[in-house]
Amino acid sequence: MASLDGKNVLVIATNYGVEQDEIVVPVDQLRERGASVTVAAQETGSIQTLVGDKDPGKSVDVDTTIDGVSLDGFDALVVPGGTINADTLRTDQQAVALVKAFVESGKPVAAICHGPWTLVEAGVLTDRTITSYPSLQTDVRNAGAGWVDREVQVDGGLITSRNPGDLPAFVDALDHALSA
């Protein structure tokens, strides 16, 4: 039996601009560990990922749309980065409302790199400590949180990491949160 059998994880993203490894690695590794993973984007079809915010990456199939899901039936939420993805996602009212609902429910929310911009926009960082891509430090602090430079930071149900190099620790922290 895999460690995450019976767990349902939702991943939200835009259809363009997600940092390739920040969606592909968590989706693949969570599925390998037994979780059922649903990928929701702004539109049906596929997600065109990027490598380093500029080079085309793999295409990722979309299972549903962001406005077609709620926190019901899911055990955790993953918000991948990519500057274009995260900047666009934080302006999507449905995505921001979904992030806020997950945080308020106490279910794990894992955001990596620029993904924490959605946490800033959702107004859920007061008195929390997170990490992110370093350029988000001021935004995080202005949102009422402390910022640390660590490969993974866990604060209650929030799991955050800085960049694709932190993915092993990021996925392990999410696995631990779902197994607790």
Relative orientation angle of helices 167-179 and 20-32, to the nearest 10 degrees:
40
60 in Cβ contact with 46 (< 8 Å): yes
Partnered with residue 161 across adjacent β-strands are 112
Options 114, 116, 164, 175, the catalytic residue: 114
> Residue 176 catalytic?
no
> Minimal CA–CA distance to 102: which of 83, 115, 85, 87?
115
Q: What are phi and psi of 129, to 5 degrees?
A: -125, 125
The size of the chain, in residues, is: 180
At 40, which amino acid appears?
Answer: A
Burial call 127-145: b when 16+ CB within 10 Å, e when fewer: ebbbbbbeebbebbeebeb
Residues assigned a catalytic role: 114
